[in-house]
Chains A and B, each alone.
Chain A
Amino acid sequence: MAGDRAVKVWAWIAAAHIGDEPVSVAAVCNAAVLRLGIDGASVSAVSGRRRREPLFASNELSAVLEELQFTTGEGPAADGSGLGAPVLVGDLESAAARWPGFVPEAVAAGARAMFAVPLQAGAIQVGVLSLYRAIAGPLTAGELADVLVFADVALHMLLDAASGVSGSPDYRPLNEFSDRRAVVHQATGMISVQLEVSLEEALVRLRAHAFARGTGIGQVAGEVVSRRLRFDSGAGTDA
């Protein structure tokens, strides 16, 4: 069933969360390490084409790999085509020709397989989820499917962190809040024009509005598209 995997992954993330702070990408990374048989996970935020800011790394090597990719401009996370495709390298050594500045150092540091998934919705890219293994080998189909859900959660967490929504105690970035229907993306485009902001900012505002009203994002999006709801310089006003 479509929802089962998402429910499972969210339960893993919630279980990996510690402390009083809101659930964040730290829990995403730690849960991924615990459940997917990988050795390290990290999330970095993206602004513009090149600038990446590391947000969390589950261990030292993950942090080192992020830094290496940043300085060399090479590697799975750095390689983002902008098209939304994950970069999956089950055998890092075989990619030496592709990333000559990065691979030898990464291998020397202990990585043998790396997987990077852009945190992306259409033209909106907010970051990258990166995973590595100390032993070469591809992700299984099931692991990859789980990774994509982890990435989905991380994407929405980053969007919601921008508006403060994720700080709420009953925050759950799945189910209603990650409705992927066409209207959500259409509404995002419309709101970006109404508020004269980027698509990313528009989606942040759409989600914040839905959360504040306790309504599904699909419903709010439907109201925007049918022009019953406009976003102007207030938080969102009726048309």
Chain B
Amino acid sequence: MAATMEERLAQTFVELADTLVSGFDLMEFLHLLTDRCVELLEVDAAGLLLADARGALQLVAASTEQARLAELFQIQNDEGPCLDCYRTGSPVIVGDLATGNAAAQWPRFASAAKKMGFAAVHAIPMRLREEIIGTLNLFGSAPNVLDQAVARAATALVDVATIGILQERAAREQELVSGQLQVALNSRVMIEQAKGIIAERLRITPDQAFITLRHYSRNNNLPLTQLARDVISGTVAIAEGTQAGLRPKTPGQRR
């Protein structure tokens, strides 16, 4: 099992490295990362949270865009494994929410997580030198403590995520890191705005709107952030009716 994990991890690093060097889009990269976390770490959902200027944890990428799952991340601004992980800088591994202290420590979170069918929760810190800039949050539907190999792999993936955020070689100063974090957070906001526009035009939910965005992004090789901008500006139009979806705008067409 360990050898297979290492091989798969190596493959993932190659894939992520390719994304880093060619046509890099941070949102695309972080979404890819959370998808791979789910596959490699054998969990059911993964989310990457970054701390904003005020120290609140914001979800920037997740393996699933289900709104109800977003709630589970949001609650953790007040209590939960991610908040503890962020504050202490240490991983928080909860093999089984039903046993131990989870319900006493984090009553709202434990209850919500159980309702959504999750039994195992883990939070891994994203560290940049001395600072904790966010956390990777993992959920499993079956009780499961991360074994050594998996925990190491999770840490490695988190480090890669941090590198992706830094991106530029010259990033030694705090200032540049903060700039990159702001870009990531802002990109996420843009994607949410685009989801709202599409949801309203096509009369679908924001979750479904995200799927529409991703399909178009993949089929047209257009990075997510750029696509979000294009939807907002009207460069990519939204067609309704039986062929509902996104289209490049034709001349004379309204957004």
The chain A residues found within 8 Å of chain B, CB to CB, are: 1-6, 83-88, 90, 120-124, 138-139, 141, 144-145, 148-149, 152, 180-182, 185-194, 199, 225
Contacts and interface: CB of A to CB of B under 8 A. Distances in A.
B45 interface: no
A183 to B, nearest CB: 8
A70 B190 CA distance: 27
B235 interface: no
B55 interface: yes
Interface in B44-62: 52-56, 58-59
Contacts of B173: 90, 138
B237 to A, nearest CB: 13
Interface residues of B, number: 42
B180 A85 contact: yes
Contacts of B245: none
Contacts, number: 125
B79 interface: no
A186 B188 CA distance: 11
A149 B56 CA distance: 12
A149 B199 contact: no
B14 interface: no
B55 A189 contact: no
7 contacts: A85-B179, A87-B179, A145-B54, A186-B195, A188-B196, A191-B196, A194-B200
A189 B195 contact: yes
B13 to A, nearest CB: 26
A193 B175 contact: no
Nearest to A81: B183
Nearest to B194: A189
B179 A186 contact: no
B52 A83 contact: no
B182 A84 contact: yes
B192 A182 contact: yes
A123 B53 contact: no
Contacts of A85: 179-180, 182-183, 186
Contacts of A185: 189, 192-193, 195-196
Interface of B: 52-56, 58-59, 67, 70, 74, 77, 131, 173-176, 178-180, 182-183, 185-187, 189-201, 206, 228-229, 232-233
A144 B77 contact: no
Contacts of B191: 122
Secondary structure at chain B's binding surface: helix, strand, loop or mixed?
helix
A187 to B, nearest CB: 6
Contact of A122 (B131, B190, B200): B190
A235 B67 CA distance: 27
Contacts of B176: 88
Contact of B59 (A3, A120, A149, A182): A182
A189 B200 contact: yes
A180 B175 contact: no
A204 to B, nearest CB: 14
Contacts of B77: 2
A48 to B, nearest CB: 12
A84 B195 contact: no
A86 B178 contact: yes
A141 B174 contact: yes
Given A145-B53, A152-B53, A90 B175 contact: yes
Contacts of A83: 183, 186-187
A1 B78 CA distance: 9
A123 B229 contact: yes
Nearest to B232: A123
B54 A120 contact: no
Nearest to B180: A85
Nearest to B26: A83
